[in-house]
Amino acid sequence: MPEAASVTRATIGDSEFDRDTAVTRREPGVYDIDLSAGWTIINAVNGGYLLAVLGRALADALPHADPFTISAHYLTASQPGPAVIRTDVVRTGRTLSTGQASLFQYDEEGAEVERIRVLASYGDLDSLPDDVRTAAKPPVFPPMDECFGPEDGPAPVDGSSAITDRLMLKLDPSTLGWALGAPSGKGEMRSWFGLADGRDADPLSLLLAVDALPPTAFEIGLKGWVPTVELTVHVRCRPAPGPLRVSITTRNLAGGFLEEDAEVWDSADRLVAQSRQLARVRLG
């Protein structure tokens, strides 16, 4: 495909993702951002995009740049538009720094309404020793050209999902039963993952990657929104260039809540991020 090869790929620092997560420092520790409408999924602003926005503010506020572990509690639904992030440096250390951040938007009277609060510990991924002892194996994926993305069929979910234009998603067909009206009943979803403009992954975009697939709930046979209550991401390694493989799994749905675990693998077969979220489901 000579045409595709001639397209200029976006780079880390100069891409849709970087522009849409960029924050402007209003004063020390306080950042403004206009949340982009480009990362909505079923009309809600994607929780992974929001986490990356908060992650970028904390990377500026803390002396370390890479999120090692970040926990977010989602309070109220964010909307595209203006927001302010207030950060608090909890502790700075040689290896790790811990910070807190809250994202606020504005109600009709202009009062701040808190959307998300996060607690995170940051470090420097490049300073870590190379030692790896792992029992984790990359998930088995079909080649990318045997997987399917939103562009390969009619949208199986109602509502605008602008995020699909920003992402390169190619889903393993064995986890796509829901899109054909025949969910497998297994709480699994697997997809190749990249940014549509070709920007490679970095620790901040991993915060998006863990929450960007269709929810496992669809393969369990549930429909509709599965709002996140809490999402914790561990970034374990700086990702190598090239597409990522993301595997998400739900084992236990009980009492109207489910956990969704994500693993992200890079092109060098390293486990670069792990996450778990608690989400609410609407049964029926």
151 binding a second copy? (CB under 8 A): no
Token pair 């269709």 in the structure block, residue: 214
Exposed (0-12), middle (13-18) or buried (19+): which is 101, by Cβ within 10 Å? buried
Write the binding mask 83 to 102 for a second copy: x where contact by CB under 8 A, - elsewhere: -------xx----x-x-x--
Smallest gap from Cβ 260 to a second copy, in A, equals: 11
230 binding a second copy? (CB under 8 A): yes
- Any idea what the Cα angle at residue 152 is, between residues 149 and 157, rounded to 5°? 70
Region binding a second copy by CB under 8 A among candidate stretches 43-51, 131-139, 153-161, 189-197: 131-139
Smallest gap from Cβ 92 to a second copy, in A, equals: 10
43 binding a second copy? (CB under 8 A): no
Contact residue for a second copy among 63, 158, 256, 268 (CB under 8 A): 256
CA distances from 83 to 25, 36, 71, 258 (A): 12, 10, 20, 29
CA distances from 249 to 1, 124, 185, 190, 255 (A): 35, 29, 12, 9, 18
Question: Are the C-beta atoms of 274 and 237 separated by less than 8 Å?
Answer: no
Question: Are the C-beta atoms of 166 and 17 separated by less than 8 Å?
Answer: yes
Binding to a second copy, residues 45-74 (CB under 8 A): 68-69, 71, 73
Residue number with CB closer to a second copy (100 or 267)? 100
1 binding a second copy? (CB under 8 A): no
Contact residue for a second copy among 108, 109, 130, 145 (CB under 8 A): 130
Q: Can you give the binding site for a second copy, defined by CB under 8 A? A: 68-69, 71, 73, 75-76, 90-91, 96, 98, 100, 114, 117-121, 125, 128-136, 186-187, 220, 229-230, 232, 234, 236-237, 250-257, 259, 270-271, 274, 276, 278, 283
